[in-house]
Structure 1
Amino acid sequence: MSAAALSAKMLPAHAGSKTAAGTAGVARVISTWDFGIPANQAAWTVLSKGGSALDAVETGVQVPEADLKNHSVGRAGYPDRDGKVTLDASIMDADGNCGAVAALEHIAHPIQVARRVMERTPHVLLVGDGALQFALEQGFKKEELLTPESRQAWQEWLKTAHYQPSANSEVRDYGKGGLPGGKDNHDTIGMLAIDTHGRLAGACTTSGMAWKLHGRVGDSPIIGAGLYVDGDVGAATSTGVGEEVIRNAGSFLVVELMRQGRSPQEACHEAVMRIVKRRPNASKDLQVGFLAMNRHGEVGAFAIQPGFSYAVCDAAKQDGLIPAKSVY
């Protein structure tokens, strides 16, 4: 089926309730996947007290970064094919200030380092040994991130060393290159927030694809790919196969579509269809999803494959998990 035909069969756009940006008491945080629920609740502790969206997203995404049961974000992430855990993260505010780290080893909370890059250097992105050097100079503790469980999974994978990304990191045999552990193996947490002052911010953090080539960097730390925020328009983040998001400057595209008048839902839908149109055969076997919020607090999400979900938290809804619509 052509991309145009797939687009035509989509159901009407859905959006969250509209709120006036900057209205007293109005705040909302959204994030990808089911582990976004506890992450949102941590972010809400900041937003509910009138705190900034930037502080909220930094606080929120540290929850999955620290979760030893989460093998796709933070310290318990599955390693690359050389057995090294490398982490990527980015953070951005409404004024376009941003910071990121990529291929960072030995630091449990890369999102904190990303914020230091934003606030204490003239740069946007630090990588590898340089990112680690900066983190240590900033007082972060060097740790061994490869947990016993992750090491065991890597050693099992080495028996075949087969590598094939799968949509939504679904459960498969080790011998076929899959990820153990069940539903919690989703890949990235992207979080967007609007605070009571109407200010937007976003954060994105991941350990990347399990068994990747050492040095591989996905979309999460790339501003405009895994995350983009424009305080005059809205914010977007992504999940799934990062290479496809990078090829399309995905999150920037979603925000620009909102600038042109699309709702967050329409913008996510159109960005996904852009990928499907350009890669019609490959898209049948991969997952990319976008999540967006405009400056009025409207929310939208869309994915190539079913299975992508996102969490919403505000004064009225504390633990909502919503399945995103999809092409297939």
Structure 2
Amino acid sequence: MGSRRDFLRISALSSAALITPSLSTFSFAGKRKGNKPLMISTWNHGFGANEAGWEILKDGGAALDAVEAGVRVPEADPKERSVGYGGLPDRDGKVTLDACIMNHEYECGAVAALENIMHPISVARLVMEKTPHAMLVGEGAQTFALAEGFKEENLLTERSKKDWEEWLKKSEYKPVINIENHDTIGALAIDAKGHIAGACTTSGAAYKMHGRVGDSPLIGAGLFVDGEIGAACATGLGEAVIRTAGSAMVVEHMRMGKSPVEACEIAVKRIMDTHKSRMENLQVGFLAINKNGEYGGYSIRNGFNYAIVDTENGNRMEDAQFKMKW
């Protein structure tokens, strides 16, 4: 099984050493189907997210509740260096959080550049449910969260602070994804009623410019849900996902009849086609589920794994297919 560290590490090899197949070649895999209800989440920390979400789904609970409860787990885990509490800060030493959530009825909420609030995903849900807006950012998002009863907390752990202080000695801003620099968690679920929901949350790229926002809180980029079709979420370099409206693209290809794996591969190929001059170290992956309970993932490079839980096979890790090797 590939690890999250392998997926996001900086390659020590030159670009000439990369194994690069033709971008016009697809390798569409067979369909993978789970037993509804089910939940799928990115990365190894998706395993814990699935455990929390499954406690809701197995008793007939709602997919929206499941994905929120699931991603709250890594949000509160200081060992996860790029999701929530303990996440690596921006270049100014501030931990800023992004998140979004969406249900099967096109209702959605998001927050971006949120500081000092432990669970941005829950703030995003309240944006969806209690405001006429889809997104709140920065100070406005924090003011809203505090008004709704969230506590202001210091999210910069001593470990992350020490790493930032070490980075300051050279202050080399290199927005290249690696395990120390960038990750996220996306979760998708379908409940016993057939309702689909998704959530995405991150502390973003380490040592980013203050105010930088990636794809994770952007509906259509880091996450998209269509209750009649399915849902998709993204991980990797956010700017590349934003430029191609990646998750919305995945869902639209499922609308046209592609399986989740096929749709994810098409979106990956589009990113590769549109970033030909920027392929060195570029990594993006997608997860998707459809209304029938089919699921899958695909990434540019190897190492992307995800957790999947359903009624028959329990909670387990699977490896996504990929287009090229490191």
Common fold: TM-score over 0.5: yes
**Secondary structure of 1:254's partner?**
helix
- Asked whether 1:17 is paired with 2:13, we answer no
Residue type of the partner of 1:34?
N
Residue type of the partner of 1:282?
R
Whether the 8 Å contact between 1:13 and 1:266 is mirrored in structure 2 is yes
Identity %: 56
How big is the shift at 1:11? 3.5
How big is the shift at 1:285? 1.7
> Which one of the candidate residues 46, 49, 53 is aligned to 1:43?
53
Relative to the length of structure 1, the TM-score reads: 0.90
**Secondary structure of 1:304's partner?**
strand
Structure 1 portions without partners, runs of 5+: 20-25, 171-178, 180-184
Deviation digits for residues 57-113 of structure 1 (CA, Å, limit 9, x no counterpart): 000000000111001101111000000000000000000000000000000000000
Deviation digits for residues 153-175 of structure 1 (CA, Å, limit 9, x no counterpart): 100111111232444x24xxxxx
- Asked whether 1:298 is paired with 2:298, we answer no
Match of residue 276 from structure 2: 280
**Secondary structure of 1:136's partner?**
helix
- Asked whether 1:70 is paired with 2:80, we answer yes
Match of residue 241 from structure 1: 237
- Asked whether 1:255 is paired with 2:251, we answer yes
How big is the shift at 1:271? 0.5
Distance 1:14 1:7, change over 3 A: farther
Match of residue 23 from structure 2: 6
Deviation digits for residues 169-226 of structure 1 (CA, Å, limit 9, x no counterpart): 24xxxxxxxx2xxxxx761000000000000000000000000000000000000000
Relative to the length of structure 2, the TM-score reads: 0.91
Deviation digits for residues 207-259 of structure 1 (CA, Å, limit 9, x no counterpart): 00000000000000000000000000000000000001000011001000110
- Asked whether 1:118 is paired with 2:114, we answer no
- Asked whether 1:53 is paired with 2:63, we answer yes
Whether the 8 Å contact between 2:28 and 2:265 is mirrored in structure 1 is no
Match of residue 202 from structure 2: 206
Whether the 8 Å contact between 2:182 and 2:206 is mirrored in structure 1 is no
Question: How many Å separate the matches in 2 of 1:77 and 1:271?
Answer: 28
Residue type of the partner of 1:69?
K
- Asked whether 1:143 is paired with 2:153, we answer yes
Distance 1:7 1:316, change over 3 A: farther
Question: How many Å separate the matches in 2 of 1:4 and 1:70?
Answer: 33
Question: How many Å separate the matches in 1 of 2:261 and 2:31?
Answer: 6
> Which one of the candidate residues 107, 119, 138 is aligned to 2:117?
107
Match of residue 222 from structure 2: 226
Question: How many Å separate the matches in 2 of 1:80 and 1:268?
Answer: 30
Distance 1:3 1:276, change over 3 A: farther
Whether the 8 Å contact between 1:117 and 1:126 is mirrored in structure 2 is yes
**Secondary structure of 1:310's partner?**
strand
Whether the 8 Å contact between 1:3 and 1:280 is mirrored in structure 2 is no
Question: How many Å separate the matches in 2 of 1:152 and 1:318?
Answer: 39
Whether the 8 Å contact between 1:41 and 1:318 is mirrored in structure 2 is no
Deviates more, 1:297-306 or 1:156-165: 156-165
Residue type of the partner of 2:22?
A
Residue type of the partner of 1:267?
A
Match of residue 22 from structure 1: none
Question: How many Å separate the matches in 2 of 1:85 and 1:49?
Answer: 36
Distance 1:4 1:70, change over 3 A: closer
Question: How many Å separate the matches in 2 of 1:216 and 1:237?
Answer: 20
